[in-house]
Structure 1
Amino acid sequence: MEIEKGQQGPPSEAGRQQVPAAIQTPPGTTPPGISVTPSRGRRLPRAVKRALAVAVVGGVVAGGVLALLPWLPGQRHEAPLPAPGPGAVTRAATALGAGMPASTADLTALIDDRVAHLRTHPGDQESWAVLGTAYVEKGRQTADAAYFPKAEKALRTSLKAKPEDNVQALAGLAALAGARHDFRAAKRWGEQAVELAPKRWTSYPVLIEAYGQLGDQEAAAKTLDKLRGLGTSASSRAAGMLSAGQVYWNRGWREDAAAVLADATVLARSPAQESLGLFRSGEILWERGEPAQALRYYEAALRADRGNHAALAGKGRALAALGRTAAAVRAYKAAIAKQPTPEYALELGELYESLDDAKGALAQYDALHARVRRDDAGGVNDELILGLFEADHGDPASAVRRLQAEWGRHGSAEVADALGWALHRAGDDEEALKHAVKAMDQGQISAVFAYHRGEIERALGRYGAARRHLQQALRINPYFSPLLAPRAEAVLEELGEPAMSAPPD
């Protein structure tokens, strides 16, 4: 592909190379977030360009704050790097460097800036890493998996241009794999990034998440210890706190998780970071069965950052639990309009079903399938959410096949629980119980896990154990599902109180 006329800078040897497909567009078309007109403005020195690559690529996989991109007066601006100055591009780089989402407009400006530069400098591996990581964040932010193939092409182009010691591209590929729910790949890329730069804290959080999703809580805890031992900078402390909150929660240490997330919120250096800490604290309160308190945290998260769409969905859950169903539906619809994920469609569909609105539920279930197909085209693995849907609302046998394959890929507690439930719904209760036990043995305290196990035990005639786990589910969170929580209450009433007399010999 020839470089278009009218672009700045002479065609260097790198400039005569073919522009890879990650920024190619059909004639007369412009994909979202890409400008085919190069921006004109201040040039960045090479050292600043390198800082931009390191901060942006590393920051996507971690929380924390980085001070980056200072202008360096008195230095010669060697490369014609078009940039709009310390405005939108710098704000986006700063946000991503802090592990927080940039605004849509700023992120688009960063993508435009790198695309414009790469049209004349396609051999610049650092800018390819920046572009790829920005595409990952755009895909996360919009729930549009179409950005992920672009991200992969850009990151692999960076790695091809610099096969050795390219930690930026490795970290970006780890973040991309995590966004696609391919946690084996995220583990592989993350381990390579950490091995290459063990003191680079921004490579650790995505690796910690990957270990957790693979069911290796011990490795997650050890990696967390390494992260927290890297230093006392604000960036590494914030990253450690956010990662610790999830690790502690997965191991059943609820108070520790709540405390560390409260600390992370107090030490927040940006509205987006504060919003993330508030949202995760709200999630803990929700899981503990405190919807009124959770609602306050979700609303505070939205006040801190209106772009926190996950907090909108959390608000919907809490409002439904409090009986404010009309407001709950509005909150879910707002979340889906901003970030249309299959998970939100399933939650809203089940809320409609609990309200005896079959038409509304069916519309959301159809939307779920459409979003899964869209995600699949972008390389996203939605087998867990699709298996859960099929188990309760579709074909349990299909759910078993999907989730057995997913269990072979990712041995997390969530997959073990989902597979156990699908096996129960398909009629194989003995095998189902094995997986339900595995889910709870990992330590996570979950009302859904306890409910599923209780129902499986009831089907096996183990009424004492069934009663115990159904009661546990309602103690953990009496509002855990608009469909399943009422069923748990009904089953407990049917089972009645345990007999007081001793059983016969």
Structure 2
Amino acid sequence: MKTEEIEAEAQTPATVPEPGRRLSPLAKGALVSAVTGSVVLGSILLVPPSSPERGAAPAPGSAGRAANAAVAGVEASLPDLAALIRDREAYLRAHPRDDRSWAALGAAYVEQGQRTADSVFYPKAERALRISLQLRSAGNVDAMDGLAALANARHDYRTAKKWGEASVKLAPKRWTTYPLLIETYGRLGDYKAVDRALGTLTKLHSGAVVMARAGQVYQDHGWRDDALASLTDAAALASTPSERAACLHRAGELMWERGQSAQALNYFSQALAADPDNDASLAGKGRALASLGRTTEAVQAYRSVLATRPRPEYALELGELYESLGFGDAAKAEYDLLRKRVGADGVNGVDDSLLLGRLEADHGNPRSAVTRLRAEWGRAPSVQTADALGWALHKAGNDKEALKYAQRATDPEHGGTVRSALIVYHRGEVERQLKMDGPARRHIGEALRINPAFSPLLSPLAKKALAALGDPPVGEPGKAWGTKASTAPPSKPHAAPRSPAPERPASRPPANESPAVRPTAPAAPPKPAPPAATPPAQAPAKPSPRPTPQTQTPKPPGA
């Protein structure tokens, strides 16, 4: 039964109170991890009904498994999640005034939309959650959390903050709201609030869900060893294959960010073995394969994931891979697909201004990108937005203003503690154009030390730029490297001091079970001997700046 049909059976009482402006059908939002979506759904299903027929448990089988997983705050499989949605829809035919079931259905729609990359579920989720609020306007934190998750998924972080903080005000010890707020505060650039929310979360709860969220925060702080330990602990404690896959995927992302592509590929492969529906790991596999020079396999991975989960960010990555290989028409087709998908998502309330700004800056109209990203900066002044706006300004020819945003994106005082190779390179290139040779040499060199293959398009340019800058002059190390105190270039990217943020929570195995063994980071495989005239899949681990199409590149679709 469709939500619209069920909605017609529910009567609308008093006006729904809101913590801020009313969400429109085109409300803007963000991508939240599916783990967080499961937490929201589980918090709703966990509370017992107040009457025999309110919030009846799902029937045994797939729906029951999904409900049990959600109650534990973990991911269910996609088939089980779909079964839970069908079960709640069927239940609401007979009980259209059950506010808790409406909230559960709305939260399930949000999670389904996130995990299938299908934004058509978001309007359904909004309708279900608003009906829940209409049926029980006072103290309905279930619906408030669901609306916060929905706003995050639509990249409308200010609305997510209003709903999340309203929920915390009513139920400050409800731990499931804090993962939502951690995501929200990070996207709004309020990193002190992120630390406070994580500190509260770790006091209220523990386990794999909390450790996974903590690992993401540690990664954002630049504490990579702590992040990897927390994520692998979470993977060891995961109670479902989907949850384990989500943690392994994050560990793979961390390893790729560190320039350890072979280890990243291993983590992504483990995640896919645990859950073949983990599309983020298939895209991550494509990214790692491209970094290793295995471009044929990389293209196949991207095309496979786009066939089932056409997320616009994957189209951007594949387009840039095609462009690096000299296939301009194939790249343009992917960029066009990105724009088409973003337009379709916009109809369902998703705002992809940040992604569109990045696309236009590098592959379209940089001035249009600047206009779009200035508006995004006003809505969500995060490190990612500062970096994107600074780069768009650089591409538009305004390097002086670009430097201000590039510095903010790398300034620890403003949360710029993640030593992302791409972000650091952006700053170095802006400095190079401004004839600031010392700082440019330091930052471009740092980007290549972090990850020598951070981008199929920009990594070769970074190497050429660093070579053009040449060796630093002798006797003036501060001027040569853009520093006052150091006498040599930094050997490793610096990390933020450990003290300001909350401590990493200790792992706690489930009751009556022995402690889980943390999976160890995989060792890098031995480098294969480069055979003569082989396809990209057999190329040496270190990719060349631009492989020759005859021997190392795949043919584009339709060629």
Scaled to the shorter chain, the TM-score interval is 0.7 to 0.9
Q: 1:221 aligns with which of 183, 195, 206?
A: 195
Q: 1:413 aligns with which of 374, 383, 386?
A: 383
The 5 A counterparts of 1:46-445 are: 60=37, 62=39, 78-79=52-53, 85-231=59-205, 236-441=206-411, 442=415, 443-445=417-419
For the pair 1:463 / 2:437, whether they are aligned, the reply is yes
The CA distance in 2 between the partners of 1:192 and 1:81, in whole Å, is 23
In the alignment, residue 247 of structure 1 is paired with which amino acid? V
Q: 2:469 aligns with which of 495, 499, 502?
A: 495
The CA distance in 2 between the partners of 1:217 and 1:302, in whole Å, is 32
* Superposition deviation, residue 268 in structure 1: 1.3
The CA distance in 1 between the partners of 2:4 and 2:319, in whole Å, is 49
**Distance 1:499-1:257 versus aligned 2 partners, 3 A rule:** same
In the alignment, residue 466 of structure 1 is paired with which amino acid? A
* Superposition deviation, residue 262 in structure 1: 1.6
Corresponding residue SS for 2:76: coil
Greater alpha carbon shift after TM alignment, 57-66 vs 116-125: 57-66
The CA distance in 2 between the partners of 1:397 and 1:316, in whole Å, is 31
**Distance 1:209-1:275 versus aligned 2 partners, 3 A rule:** same
* Superposition deviation, residue 96 in structure 1: 3.2
In the alignment, residue 446 of structure 1 is paired with which amino acid? S
**Distance 1:98-1:79 versus aligned 2 partners, 3 A rule:** closer
**Distance 1:194-1:363 versus aligned 2 partners, 3 A rule:** same
In the alignment, residue 395 of structure 1 is paired with which amino acid? N
Q: Can you list the C-alpha shifts for 1:246-289, whole angstroms capped at 9, x where unaligned?
A: 11111111111111112111211111111111111111100000
Q: 1:475 aligns with which of 429, 449, 459?
A: 449
* Superposition deviation, residue 17 in structure 1: 4.0
Q: Can you list the C-alpha shifts for 1:296-317, whole angstroms capped at 9, x where unaligned?
A: 0000011111111100000000
**Distance 1:181-1:99 versus aligned 2 partners, 3 A rule:** farther
* Superposition deviation, residue 97 in structure 1: 3.4
**Contact 1:145/1:380, CA 8 A, preserved across alignment:** yes
**Distance 1:112-1:63 versus aligned 2 partners, 3 A rule:** closer
**Distance 1:487-1:168 versus aligned 2 partners, 3 A rule:** same
Q: Can you list the C-alpha shifts for 1:15-50, whole angstroms capped at 9, x where unaligned?
A: 67489xxxxxxxxxxxxxxxxxxxxxxxxxxxxxxx
Q: Percent identity?
A: 55
Could you tell me which residue of structure 2 aligns to residue 53 of structure 1? Answer: none
In the alignment, residue 276 of structure 1 is paired with which amino acid? A
The CA distance in 2 between the partners of 1:15 and 1:345, in whole Å, is 41
For the pair 1:452 / 2:426, whether they are aligned, the reply is yes
Corresponding residue SS for 1:60: helix
The CA distance in 2 between the partners of 1:319 and 1:335, in whole Å, is 14
Q: Can you list the C-alpha shifts for 1:67-122, whole angstroms capped at 9, x where unaligned?
A: 9779x9xx999539898721111122233334444333322222222222223322
In the alignment, residue 258 of structure 1 is paired with which amino acid? L
**Contact 2:208/2:234, CA 8 A, preserved across alignment:** yes
Greater alpha carbon shift after TM alignment, 439-448 vs 310-319: 439-448
Q: Can you list the C-alpha shifts for 1:442-462, whole angstroms capped at 9, x where unaligned?
A: 211110111000110011110
Please list every run of 5 or more consecutive structure 2 residues that lacks an aligned counterpart in the other structure: 14-33, 480-559
Greater alpha carbon shift after TM alignment, 331-340 vs 346-355: 331-340
Could you tell me which residue of structure 1 aligns to residue 537 of structure 2? Answer: none
* Superposition deviation, residue 134 in structure 1: 1.1
**Contact 1:59/1:96, CA 8 A, preserved across alignment:** no
Greater alpha carbon shift after TM alignment, 150-159 vs 330-339: 330-339
The CA distance in 2 between the partners of 1:4 and 1:203, in whole Å, is 28
TM-score (norm 2): 0.76
Q: Can you list the C-alpha shifts for 1:405-457, whole angstroms capped at 9, x where unaligned?
A: 00001111000000000000111111100000111112111101110001100
The CA distance in 2 between the partners of 1:225 and 1:296, in whole Å, is 32
In the alignment, residue 394 of structure 1 is paired with which amino acid? G
TM-score (norm 1): 0.84
**Contact 1:64/1:238, CA 8 A, preserved across alignment:** no
**Contact 1:64/1:239, CA 8 A, preserved across alignment:** no
Corresponding residue SS for 2:247: helix
Corresponding residue SS for 1:181: coil
The CA distance in 1 between the partners of 2:410 and 2:38, in whole Å, is 28
Corresponding residue SS for 1:224: helix
The CA distance in 2 between the partners of 1:89 and 1:375, in whole Å, is 28
The CA distance in 2 between the partners of 1:63 and 1:318, in whole Å, is 32
**Distance 1:481-1:439 versus aligned 2 partners, 3 A rule:** same
**Contact 1:61/1:202, CA 8 A, preserved across alignment:** no
**Distance 1:77-1:86 versus aligned 2 partners, 3 A rule:** farther
The CA distance in 2 between the partners of 1:69 and 1:434, in whole Å, is 48
**Distance 1:219-1:343 versus aligned 2 partners, 3 A rule:** same
**Contact 1:64/1:237, CA 8 A, preserved across alignment:** no
* Superposition deviation, residue 486 in structure 1: 0.7
**Contact 2:360/2:369, CA 8 A, preserved across alignment:** yes
**Contact 1:59/1:98, CA 8 A, preserved across alignment:** no
- Aligned pair count reads 450
**Contact 1:63/1:239, CA 8 A, preserved across alignment:** no
In the alignment, residue 182 of structure 2 is paired with which amino acid? I
Q: Higher relative contact order by CA 8 Å / sep ≥ 6: 1 or 2? A: 2
**Contact 1:61/1:206, CA 8 A, preserved across alignment:** no
**Distance 1:223-1:148 versus aligned 2 partners, 3 A rule:** same
The CA distance in 2 between the partners of 1:310 and 1:58, in whole Å, is 13
**Distance 1:413-1:69 versus aligned 2 partners, 3 A rule:** closer
The CA distance in 1 between the partners of 2:346 and 2:291, in whole Å, is 32
Please list every run of 5 or more consecutive structure 1 residues that lacks an aligned counterpart in the other structure: 8-13, 20-56
The CA distance in 2 between the partners of 1:59 and 1:485, in whole Å, is 34
Corresponding residue SS for 1:122: coil
In the alignment, residue 305 of structure 1 is paired with which amino acid? D
**Contact 1:332/1:344, CA 8 A, preserved across alignment:** yes
**Contact 1:271/1:304, CA 8 A, preserved across alignment:** yes
